[in-house]
Amino acid sequence: MKVLIRSVRIIDKKSPFNGQVKDILIRDGKITQIGEALPEDGADIKESEGLCVSSGWVDMRVASRDPGFEHKEDLDSVHEAAVHGGFTEIVLLPNSEPVVHSKDTLNYIKNSGRGGLVKLHVAAAVTRKAQGVDFTEMIDLHTAGAIAFTDGDHPVQNADLFLKTILYLQPLNALLMNRPEDRQLTVFGQMHEGITSTLIGMKGMPSLAEEMMLNRDLKLLEYALEKSSFELTGQPILHISLVSTREAVDLIREAKKKGLPVSCDVAAHQLAYEDKDLLDFDTNLKVNPPFRSATDHDAIRQGLLDGTIDAIVSDHTPHDEESKNLEFDHADFGITGLETAFSLATMFSGLSTEDIVEKLTSQPRHILRLEESMIAEGSAANLTFFEPETEWVFEKTYSKSKNTPFLGQKLKGTVRGVFNNGRLDWF
């Protein structure tokens, strides 16, 4: 396969061509030439106004629902949603049925995605059935190719389990991902605890639930390092998923100043809404962590700007109609986000396109111990093509589920195509 991309702006801080408009020739899955006015020579020509290219985007938090809940999403549909969102690699959470706590389930998912445009990385469960009671065989799962360990939708509540997990994984140079939430403080909670929840009579989920658990996790990480003799690799040992409050950002900022091996991400949709937007009880806005206050939003944007927040994720959480189209307090938490993550980051993060791309590419790859991808002659072509200034209307989703508030809305920043594993999808 021979593809020539005409007049494309390269967005890659590690590339000598960063910021330059060039032609890129791809042959047999590799970038063979980067230059100006390259000869066509029978190549498939692709071009568009305002076109940019970066290394392929990585999403660190996706719920696939397969196996077990294929009516919400299966591996084929999550693949299509990821492609149209510009992602060439995604990390799938273990919260399927069965939970990814065995090598059989892990290999089923990995093999399903082999050779596709989107590489499927699998995060294995910390505890059996993600119930927070008994450990999984983490060493075997790591050897089988688990990209990280997390109970996904179920934050690790037990402090002893959390500490031992850190100690088990450190000699493996493996990553623990945890979403901080003290569930005793959020039981029956429906939205952020604040003025809006009081006005509409909804049980609130206090910021304190996130901040107390995060403080615990950071203290236990520090304690584990003091008790351990293993050397640090320069990569995070603990990754905090879905930061949503001002104090949580401050805690992570201070932890990094101390030199703790910690990283974190924020969901793209968290940048778009605040708790006051739930006044009309739209269940598509019911997420966990919930949309917070304006003060929290400002802190998240500042955390993105100063590098405290390392990555932006979609937190793609598909649900069928029966799980969302009912009373607010009975609806499930979650939004589909693969197809809109880049647009929301472009519109609401306050970051430059170059910095957004970094939080979708090199930063996730560093956190996940993935091989670095860059735009250079001789490199394998793992690429995302996009137009950051182009407006578009989100009219169709490729996910099986439609639980998103953005359908029918005009967004800014569109994906034009992806190239990976010797294959191109252009739209």
Which residue has 């979708």 as its token pair?
360
Q: What is the pLDDT of residue 113?
A: 84
Q: 56-367 maps to which CATH number?
A: 3.20.20.140
* Token couple for 180: 């901080």
Which bin fits 195, alpha (ψ -120 to 50), beta or left (φ > 0)? alpha
Q: Where in the chain is the domain with CATH 2.30.40.10?
A: 2-51+379-426
Q: Is 308 exposed, middle or buried (0-12, 13-18, 19+ CB in 10 A)?
A: buried
Q: What is the pLDDT of residue 99?
A: 96
Active-site residue list: 315
Helix intervals (H) in 149-245: 159-169, 183-186, 195-200, 207-227
The mean pLDDT values, 10 residues at a time, for the chain of 427 residues are 96 94 97 95 94 98 94 96 98 96 95 91 97 96 97 96 96 96 98 97 98 98 89 92 98 97 98 97 98 97 98 98 96 98 98 98 98 94 98 98 97 98 96
Contact present, 61 and 242 (Cβ < 8 Å): yes
Q: What is the pLDDT of residue 344?
A: 98
Q: What is the pLDDT of residue 115?
A: 86
Q: Residue 172 phi/psi, 5° resolution?
A: -85, -5
Q: What is the pLDDT of residue 233?
A: 85
Q: Which CATH class is domain 2-51+379-426?
A: mainly beta
Q: Where in the chain is the domain with CATH 3.20.20.140?
A: 56-367
Tell me the pTM. Answer: 0.97
Q: Residue 59 phi/psi, 5° resolution?
A: -105, 120
d(CA 56, CA 360): 8
